[in-house]
Amino acid sequence: GAVVSQHPSWVICKSGTSVKIECRSLDFQATTMFWYRQFPKQSLMLMATSNEGSKATYEQGVEKDKFLINHASLTLSTLTVTSAHPEDSSFYICSARDVRGSSTDTQYFGPGTRLTVL
Amino acid sequence: GEDVEQSLFLSVREGDSSVINCTYTDSSSTYLYWYKQEPGAGLQLLTYIFSNMDMKQDQRLTVLLNKKDKHLSLRIADTQTGDSAIYFCAERKRTGGSYIPTFGRGTSLIVHP
């Protein structure tokens, strides 16, 4: 089946530093990847849609200068949290859509990255 | 309120049936999904139902859709301890140029012996 990996699985950093999270589709190509944020006991909130070779589309209320997204290849998208603060602590999940598409718009989700900012 | 609503917790005994309920808002949603999230893991698509269907069965899983009431349910027969997880209901919505699932908060299913 389609597999999406994320790295790192967890990270602890100091306030003010930047953290990069990678999302890779391992056995398929993904023109579109999505970044979500999940708070405890909350739903997944879509942050941005990442399209290979073009700028990401951010959801309302998400600061694009703070959450930098790069989708340089068909198998890799990165999310960089710049100048992280404790309120950025969360569980970040990516998903990828197979370039071949499907009638159900199936997305394959990564295992998530737990970010803790001290 | 939330676009997709579901209760937060459900506790069942092993071997019993579990029923997780969900309500959604967009009557034009063409697909409705159920995802499963195990601790520390990403989401796994369990099943989906097309909006012109009332019911879909897949082994131990039965999905019921009431379009009039915008109500979706997931029934798990013979619930096992391995079914303990968070179950997310989602409706397909258009965001920008893409169709993506819009999730509820998730229902934590606890299966006890």
In sequence order, which residues have a C-beta less than 8 Å from that of residue B40 and are 6 or more positions away?
A9, A111, A112
Q: What token pair was written down for B27?
A: 């009557």
Pairwise CB contact (< 8 Å): B31 & A105: yes
pLDDT value at residue B1: 54
How far is the C-alpha of B25 from the C-alpha of B31, rounded, in Å?
A: 13
How far is the C-alpha of B24 from the C-alpha of B26, rounded, in Å?
A: 6
Facing residues of B12 across strands?
Answer: B111
CA distance A48 to chain B (A): 10
How far is the C-alpha of B75 from the C-alpha of B90, rounded, in Å?
A: 16
* Bond before A86 cis per omega within 30 degrees: no
pLDDT value at residue B85: 96
Low-confidence ranges of chain A (pLDDT < 70): 1, 101-105
pLDDT value at residue A91: 93
CA distance A11 to chain B (A): 14
Say yes or no: B41 contacts chain A, CB-CB below 8 A: yes
How far is the C-alpha of B14 from the C-alpha of B81, rounded, in Å?
A: 6
pLDDT value at residue B58: 92
Collapsing DSSP states into helix, strand and coil, what is residue A113?
Answer: strand
How far is the C-alpha of A60 from the C-alpha of B110, rounded, in Å?
A: 35
Averaged pLDDT, B3-31: 91
Mean pLDDT is lowest, of A92-96, B42-46, B52-56, for B42-46
Look at B38 and A22; give whichever has higher pLDDT.
A22
pLDDT value at residue A1: 67
Pairwise CB contact (< 8 Å): A4 & B106: no
Rg (CA), chain B: 14
Facing residues of B6 across strands?
Answer: B22
Q: Among candidates B39, B38, B8, which has minimal Cα distance to A41?
A: B8
pLDDT value at residue A39: 84
pLDDT value at residue A101: 65
Pairwise CB contact (< 8 Å): A107 & B100: yes
pLDDT value at residue A42: 79
How far is the C-alpha of A25 from the C-alpha of B50, rounded, in Å?
A: 27
